[in-house]
Chains A and B, each alone.
Chain A
Amino acid sequence: MQINADGSVVIGAKEPEIGQGLRTALPMMVAEELDVDWDKVSIRQMPLGIVKTADGFTWKYGGGQGVGGSTGLTSNWELMRQAGADARRQLIRAAAARLGVEESQCSTKPGAVVCPSTNSEIPYADLVVDAAALPMPEDTTPLKAVDDYRIIGTQRKTIDARDIVTGKTKYGVDTDQPHMHYAVIARAPVLNAKVASFDDTAAREVDGVLDVFRIDGPSPGEPYVILASGVAVVATSTWAAMKGRAALDIDWEESPNATDSSERFWQENVEMLKDAGQVVLDDGDFDAAIASAEATVTHQYRVPFVSHSPLEPQNCYAYVKADECHIIAPTQMPSGASRAAAAVTGLPRENIRVDMTRVGGGFGRRLTNDYVAEAAMISMKTGWPIKLQWSREDDIKNDFYRPGGLHEMHAGVDNDGKVIAWAQRLASGSKYYRRPNMPDENLFGAELYIDDFPRRIVDNIRMEYFHNAIGLPRGSWRAPAHTANAFVIQSFIDEIAHETGQDPLQLRLDLLGESRDLEYSGHGGPVFNPGRLATLIKFVAERIGYGKDLPEGRGIGIATHFTFGGYAAHAMEVTVVDGKLTIERIVAAIDCGLAVHPNAVDAQLQGGTIDGLSTALGLEITVKDGQVQQSNFHDYPLARIAMVPSLFETHIMPFDDVPTGVGEMGIPSAAPALTNAIFAATGQRIRSLPIADQLS
């Protein structure tokens, strides 16, 4: 942080901003403890702060940098407040020394140290030089009590909003560096295909095309740095590069995935589930419990592959020189960008500078830095500073997709309607795709989170996994397997209730029970408190008027889920008339402990809900003859404003003083609330996503 002579304060942003609001939330924590007025604060994006040590690397800006898994806020919660508190302490100590008083006689008001005993007030700006020269105190500076917060937990606007609405903000695509050229890559249309040969005569005749050469990708099945083989075209402008690419004539080698198809994948899943799979969880005695059950319920649910499709297509600036490299990228994981550039160039990581731009959407896609590696390859080959630009088609056809899977659910219910046996059996393509040192028996871990509800609530519970290989790359898609599992589990609970004559809300409340901590070993642990979900679902159900009389064709659905440490619930009211679905009303609630930046919490809950609905309504990636069949937004139809009802309310439910992340919590329960509402309205159960034209 930097305190200027005019009292303004510049706070460094160590993390990437992908729209989740960290560039505002983290400085709020610093400013809170530093004790400055928020309107004096501005932000400067920091690069990757990697420092070489004797035995590896360490981080210049207090911990690793990168955002994923809704950890950006929680991983910086102590660090940022402590940084602000330490700086304030040094300013106080500098003032005390100047005034000749004890440190304890001084305090602060926003932007100044005050000393009542000497009736003094010294602006921070007058103390900063002295303060910066002081050694750090040996004891830890205490942090503020929650009740004393003036910035944390208050409504603050996005710090960059004015620049955004005036077109000033620079994203990766906007990078402009001296002598920079523009590059695109013609990518293999078939998964894992390699270039056999190519004719670039016509491409080189395109005005502005400077160079054309092949790029080699990894062999099928190998861990990847980049995704696909292809032919790079470098030109004096983006359009010239694109025109050059269109003029290429490429022959591709036959790929081992040339016959991959979604049809085959989904058929195989059905067949796999007829056998016994890898038992990954087996609490109690599922077989005995299901045999003794008064009633059993069994259904299958299908969750498709989907693409991230951030609105800013992948891009990266790279300038590789003999002994150093400069990367400017929109990335969620700058340390990964550094690793990717190091792998391609062979340069030591401390010689690779990684600058981060604002990122035009992450959603997990930019945890993977394949486009950084590609840019580095092209710069290294040409010796030029280049900006690689993907097209939308490149992006949709070359993604690390959310894995598709077929889930088979079993429940046994006793005389009292209590669920006494539960099984989830999943056949899918695991996200742990082409990873080094990943044994087959661990593939399930990315798709089945064994500690999720209803574990430790239902005594007899089994999970089985079947891995089905497919050439489609897989990766982390916002709230990864929670999006699939919440749909499956929250649909199935509704079905159990309906088939055993119980109320879906009451059955959930019975299962979730009182507030208490259950052990949770997965990401977002170490505990899961099902009572927090009960509070939320009761709240959203009451808000929407759950149980009220509704006209024909209208219904209300509810769902709730625990995601990576945070809690959310949705209630939705829909109308289905002549096969036409209208979402009439949405009530969404989140419990993220302490809401540090409530404006962004609200935004993430809105956006997450809409992401979940958009995906459930119309999105799927399919493969035929080894080729991804979707290419752009006409056949991968992200929701537009017309999907979103006018009645859309969000609620932030307080719980305690510990913040959780918020970026992913708004998605998982959105889709099952919608499909449960559709069932309530029509009696039609959606067990396969997307909903698409199933209602017509």
Chain B
Amino acid sequence: MVSFKINSEEVSYEGDADTPLLWVIRDHLRLTGTKFGCGVGQCGACTVHVDGAAQRSCVMPVSAIDGRDITTIEGLAPSADELHPVQQAWLENDVPQCGYCQAGQIMAAVDFLKNNPSPSDEDINNGVTNICRCGTYVRIRKAIHRAAELSAGEES
């Protein structure tokens, strides 16, 4: 049995230890905000935070997260009324088209901004590698810059 925390809640999983975390989150815990895109860690639609760091959950066996702390898109906002600054920036820039990749994009951007609080475009090019098939990249880039501003308290 594997036990871990997800969005501050203690949970456990008794199935196959090699089950990817993604499918435990989606099928077992019924948290469907985290998406299946490629199954091989290429696209990042399945990005979650493991102990605060972005991880592609489709290639992480659930056995590897025993005792660890997972955050999914459903647990990112501080409360129902208040969004995380990255989510807020995504809304301000109206990033989503189909929207399917955006939970993963947001989770990746949150972690990226932790390490690059004031990124250049080049930093973003090098550090943000999630795929958006709709091509929302122009707005993703703007939203990351805006999230950096919001996080730095430079709200305007």
Residues of A within 8 A of B (CB): 17-21, 157-158, 160-162, 164-171, 173-174, 176, 182, 207-208, 237-240, 243, 309-313, 358-363, 389, 391-393, 599, 603-604, 606-611, 614, 632-634, 638-644, 646, 648
B55 at the interface (CB under 8 A from A): no
- With A165-B90, A648-B138 in contact, is A160–B99 under 8 Å at CB? yes
11 pairs across A/B with beta carbons < 8 Å?
A17-B98, A20-B97, A157-B91, A165-B102, A166-B73, A167-B32, A167-B33, A168-B74, A606-B136, A644-B135, A646-B121
Cβ-neighbour of A239 out of B16, B101, B131, B140 (below 8 A): B16
Q: How far does the Cβ of A151 sit from chain B's closest Cβ, in whole Å?
A: 16
A residues within 8 A CB of B31? 167
B residues within 8 A CB of A313? 36-37
Tell me the bound Cα distance from A648 to B141 in angstroms: 11
- With A19-B98, A169-B99, A239-B27 in contact, is A603–B139 under 8 Å at CB? yes
A residues within 8 A CB of B72? 167
Which B54-85 residues have C-beta < 8 A from chain A?
72-74, 76-77, 83
B42 touches A633 (CB 8 A): yes
Tell me the bound Cα distance from A81 to B148 in angstroms: 41
B135 touches A614 (CB 8 A): yes
Mask, B126-147, CB within 8 Å of A = 1, is 1011111111111111000000
A311 touches B37 (CB 8 A): yes
A166 touches B33 (CB 8 A): yes
B77 touches A644 (CB 8 A): no
Q: How far does the Cβ of B15 sit from chain A's closest Cβ, in whole Å?
A: 7
B residues within 8 A CB of A311? 35, 37, 43, 45, 98, 100-101, 131-134
A-B CB proximity, top 4 nearest: A167-B33, A610-B135, A19-B98, A360-B100
Residue of A nearest to B120 (CB): A646
B residues within 8 A CB of A164? 96, 99, 102-103
B15 touches A634 (CB 8 A): no
- With A311-B101, A311-B131, A644-B138 in contact, is A158–B38 under 8 Å at CB? no
B131 touches A644 (CB 8 A): no
B residues within 8 A CB of A176? 30, 32
B20 at the interface (CB under 8 A from A): yes
Q: How far does the Cβ of A510 sit from chain B's closest Cβ, in whole Å?
A: 33
A641 touches B128 (CB 8 A): yes
B141 touches A644 (CB 8 A): yes
B129 touches A640 (CB 8 A): yes
Which B13-47 residues have C-beta < 8 A from chain A?
15-16, 19-20, 23, 26-28, 30-40, 42-43, 45
B residues within 8 A CB of A611? 134-135
Residue of A nearest to B92 (CB): A157
Q: How far does the Cβ of A45 sit from chain B's closest Cβ, in whole Å?
A: 14
Residue of A nearest to B106 (CB): A165
Besides A161-B90, A243-B16, 12 other CB < 8 A contacts? A161-B96, A162-B91, A165-B73, A165-B87, A165-B102, A166-B74, A166-B76, A174-B32, A182-B27, A311-B101, A633-B43, A644-B141
**Tally of contacts, chain A with chain B, CB under 8 A:** 190
Tell me the bound Cα distance from A640 to B124 in angstroms: 11
Tell me the bound Cα distance from A596 to B54 in angstroms: 39
A residues within 8 A CB of B33? 166-168
A165 touches B96 (CB 8 A): yes
Cβ-neighbour of A238 out of B16, B23, B96, B135 (below 8 A): B23
A360 touches B35 (CB 8 A): yes
Cβ-neighbour of B141 out of A309, A391, A646 (below 8 A): A646
B residues within 8 A CB of A603? 94, 97, 136, 139
- With A171-B35, A207-B15 in contact, is A237–B94 under 8 Å at CB? no
Cβ-neighbour of B125 out of A173, A604, A642 (below 8 A): A642
B residues within 8 A CB of A646? 121, 141
A237 touches B15 (CB 8 A): yes
Residue of A nearest to B102 (CB): A164
Residue of B nearest to A24 (CB): B94
Tell me the bound Cα distance from A378 to B35 in angstroms: 24
Cβ-neighbour of A165 out of B27, B38, B45, B91 (below 8 A): B91
Cβ-neighbour of A166 out of B16, B77, B101, B140 (below 8 A): B77
B94 touches A157 (CB 8 A): yes
A641 touches B87 (CB 8 A): no
B residues within 8 A CB of A312? 35, 37, 98, 100
Tell me the bound Cα distance from A392 to B33 in angstroms: 18
Q: How far does the Cβ of A137 sit from chain B's closest Cβ, in whole Å?
A: 39
Tell me the bound Cα distance from A17 to B141 in angstroms: 24
A residues within 8 A CB of B98? 17-19, 310-312, 358-362
Tell me the bound Cα distance from A642 to B102 in angstroms: 17
